[in-house]
Amino acid sequence: MQKTAIIAGASGLIGSQLLPLLLASNRYAKVIAVGRKPLTQVHPKLEQRVLDFDQLEQHSMSLIADDVYCCLGTTMRQAGSREAFYRVDYLYVVTLAALTARNFASQLLLVSAMGADAGSRIYYNRVKGEMEAAVQQTPFRAIHFFRPSLLLGERNEKRPAERIGAILLRALNPLLLGPLRKYRPVPAAAVAQAMLRAAEDDGGGIKVHLSDEIARTSSL
């Protein structure tokens, strides 16, 4: 029996790579894209829910699916303040997880960050770690956290620092061996592939996917 998927953040770097994979997959009869703005894609399987994430609770009955893919995320620079960053990367993500779990979704596949750590002194990493800790309290059969290093791919917005970092890490790739492999940059398309592959495994429990594993299993 074909399933239903929800994807949040389908217009972002990873989400825009993931959405076509979900639509092409025989696993899904319906793909619900949740976002603040309508997408340009048109597809027989695609249903769009244009909504305000601050009012997510009001839309809970339209958030019913088997697999939930969360690609929500911003940066401190984009958000403009710690409060705005926390709202997107913690509150929106945790609320989406809680609502879809309450609606009996089976799996959550979520993009986090390589340094996620609730005890970190770095605010970005601490929020990501706190988000993961909160999400782990939701009753999904399976939760997958994807913690990529720097992402490779064309973004809608310019991020000069990330572009420079990606160039430097690419040059250092041959030296990033053993436990350092997780610092290698990874294509956003590879993360999208890994997310769908993890869902197709239909396993259980909580699993963390790092850049080296994502790159190793990718066809790119």
Q: What percent of the chain has pLDDT over 70?
A: 85
pTM, to two decimals: 0.88
- Model pLDDT, residue 170: 53
- Model pLDDT, residue 169: 47
- Model pLDDT, residue 185: 82
Instruction: Please identify every residue annotated as catalytic.
Output: 124, 128
Whole-number Å distance between alpha carbons of 13 and 40: 15
Domain boundaries, the chain: 3-217
Q: What is the pLDDT of residues 80-110, one digit of tens each?
A: 999 999 999 999 999 999 999 999 999 999 9
Whether 161 has a pLDDT exceeding 80, the answer reads no
**In CATH, 3-217 is 3.40.50.720:** yes
